[in-house]
Amino acid sequence: MKAWKFEDNINTDLITPGRYNMTTDETQLGKIAFIEYRPEFSKNVKKGDYIIAGKNFGCGSSREHAPVALKAAGVSAVIAKSFARIFFRNCINVGLPIFICNQTELIDDGDIIQTNINENIIVNETKKISIPILSPPEFIQKIMLSGGLIEFLRRDSYV
Amino acid sequence: MSQTITEKILAHVSNKKEVFPGDYVVSDIDWIMFHDSTGPLTIKGFEDIGKRICNKEKIVTFFDHFYPAPNIEAAKLHQISRRFIDLQGLNNHHTDGICHQILAEKYVKPGNVVVGADSHTCTLGALGSFATGLGSTDIAGVMATGKCWFKVPDNMKIHYTNKLKKGVYAKDVILKTAGLIGSEGADYFAIEFSGDYIKSSSISERLTMCNMAVELGAKNGIIEPDEKTLEFTGNQGLFFKSDYNASYEKEFSIDVSQFGPQIACPNSVDNVKPVEEVAGTPIDQAFIGTCTNGRLDDIEIVARILKSYKVKQSTRLIVIPASMNVYLRAFQKGYIQIISSAGGIISSPSCGPCIGRHNGVLADGEVCISTQNRNFNGRMGSPKSMIYLSSPASAAASAITGEITDPRDYL
Ligand code: SF4
């Protein structure tokens, strides 16, 4: 699916501007992701698309609205060089898959990519290369894939 | 491999021999906290999970952020939490002070792992525990499982050398630190506060330092336990210490004898200046209290400064002890009487105006000097008000003159 490329230090205000945070409705939040910073994203993002970013993605306030909005917009994973601490935790807990990749410069805006979690790689189909990712351990992936901490704990528990 | 105190605690509670920064662990949790502000969301998350409470004795709940309720909305939130607390039979419920203060006074022991639905849970690291703030969803998960996942943080060590000069306190030291390393300088780190100043400091001073670890971006702040910790916590707990050759990603050294009182100017905690540079700025309110500086030694300094002075007529001085225990001891020692006679307002133990909910909310254009830990725009009320952060001594001296004042002239 398509890669949407972002730079370093994307903060939660750029993802979900403060004045749109009044709602907790997911569908509503899905429509406002990057609404001011990159309006074409909120209009054209397709289910399964990826966000590719530089360092410190998700810095700023600890609002859970930001990862919820990206997930609701259909983003299948955020892949960045590093994440802000609370955003990182929030992503896992709300079920938005995230991966750390030290070479996100090998992916350009609009490239078609796939993740292969079993082999810890991203395949950049446009550029015909595969790029390593650091994926979190199995139990963290289980939390992300079950849709978040609440869903995970409803059915499962930590070992 | 040599390990830091934070790594040792996390390894211990997740049944591992050692852990490294970046590792993920699932830890057993000793204390789980929520309060009136974060309680309702935590309760909702917990109910969505649909499991039973894992260990009631480990959950400690508080009404402190807006207690007693200042309006109907707040009263309703208390109702939601109170129903849940009663229904679940949670017996560690407190209305006698600020969550972090009461956790320090009554619950947390060295080596414990403490999580709270409040960012300043890191305060408890002062007792040699691993303590960190989490979101409401996370706390709901811990209530259902007794466990929590963590990513092991990188380590930063700050050595504080030498002795404080007269009129300089722990708050000035941590404000100076914020000015030096910045509000994101310790992002994701465990900060270990160490050095001879820390060794000689009281538990109250250590609580002030660790309280503000999160203002530097840290996951936790921690101080190795010693004889003072032992005495304060009644000889209980596990005493972890960093290995002498443990490795730190970042290390700083700060000579505490090299600076005077510090003030963090609006609107960020790292906008720190020596008091001389901002002295003379007119204020409308001085507030002494909060989990940062609402303890007995803080109130004692205020009483000492106000003993032969009066609060300026155009200025409000608000003093709020951090717990009922502090309040009663301040009363016995006569501090409350001195402050009241000088024109100060004393409120019952709670967060008070720290988050602009009650007991001293600011209007447009008003200026407050406060001993709290955050001066974000609008935190104490109007977005057009301004907050300067300081030690209790600087705030008390400023209440006398009605402008930001160097406390050394009054000591
Ligand atoms: S006193 Fe202020 S900083 Fe401390 S817990 Fe209360 S609201 Fe938070």
**pLDDT tens-digit readout, A30-83:** 998 999 899 999 899 999 999 999 999 998 766 778 999 999 999 999 999 999
B90 and B229 share one domain = yes
B268 and B180 share one domain = no
B336 and B386 share one domain = yes
**pLDDT at residue B124, rounded to an integer:** 98
**pLDDT at residue B158, rounded to an integer:** 98
Tell me the mean pLDDT in the region B159-163.
98
Q: Is B125 a domain residue?
A: yes
Q: Is B197 a domain residue?
A: yes
Rounded to the nearest angstrom, the minimum Cα separation between A128 and chain B is 31
Q: Which of A84, A93, A136 sits opposite B138 (nearest CB)?
A: A93
Band of the pLDDT at A118, cuts 50, 70, 90?
confident
B221 and B310 share one domain = no
Tell me the mean pLDDT in the region B134-142.
92
**pLDDT at residue B377, rounded to an integer:** 86
Q: Is B201 a domain residue?
A: yes
CATH number of the domain where residue B96 is located: 3.30.499.10
Tell me the pLDDT tens digit for each residue of B228-252: 999 999 999 999 999 999 999 999 9
Sign of CA dihedral B233, B105, B111, B243: negative
B222 and B298 share one domain = no
Tell which of A93, A134, A141, A152 to mutate to test the B interface (max B CBs under 10 Å).
A93
Q: H-helix or E-strand containing B90? A: none
**pLDDT at residue B409, rounded to an integer:** 93
Chain-chain contact of A150 with B135 (C-beta, under 8 angstroms): no
B37 and B71 share one domain = yes
Rounded to the nearest angstrom, the minimum Cα separation between B55 and chain A is 15
Domain that holds residue B169: 5-238+248-254
Band of the pLDDT at A135, cuts 50, 70, 90?
confident
**pLDDT at residue A22, rounded to an integer:** 63
B28 and B153 share one domain = yes
Q: Is B180 a domain residue?
A: yes
Tell me the pLDDT tens digit for each residue of B329-353: 999 999 999 999 999 999 999 999 9
Chain-chain contact of B188 with A140 (C-beta, under 8 angstroms): no
Q: Is B243 a domain residue?
A: no
Q: What is the B210 CA–ligand 1 centroid distance (Å)?
A: 14
Strand A3-5 to A113-116 pairing: unpaired
**pLDDT at residue B101, rounded to an integer:** 98
B291 and B363 share one domain = yes
CATH number of the domain where residue A69 is located: 3.20.19.10
Q: How far is CA A32 from CA A44, A45, A53, in A?
A: 12, 11, 19
B186, two tokens: 């310790």
How many other C-beta atoms can be found within 10 angstroms of the C-beta atom of residue B20?
A: 11
B202 and B74 share one domain = yes
Count chain A–chain B contacts defined by CB atoms under 8 A.
Answer: 56
The residue nearest atom 4 of ligand 1, judged by CA position, is B291
Residues 6+ apart with CB under 8 A from A7: A53, A54
- Give me the number of domains chain B comprises: 2
A45, two tokens: 């993002």
Q: Is B95 a domain residue?
A: yes
Domain that holds residue A94: 3-155
Q: What is the B12 CA–ligand 1 centroid distance (Å)?
A: 30
Chain-chain contact of B149 with A140 (C-beta, under 8 angstroms): yes
**pLDDT at residue B238, rounded to an integer:** 96
B199 and B270 share one domain = no
- Give me the number of domains chain A comprises: 1
ipTM: 0.87
Instruction: Give the per-residue SS3 of A12-57.
Output: HHHHCCHHHCCCCCHHHHHHHCCCCCCHHHHHHCCCCCEEEECCCE
Rounded-to-integer distance, Cα B46 and Cα B55, Å: 13
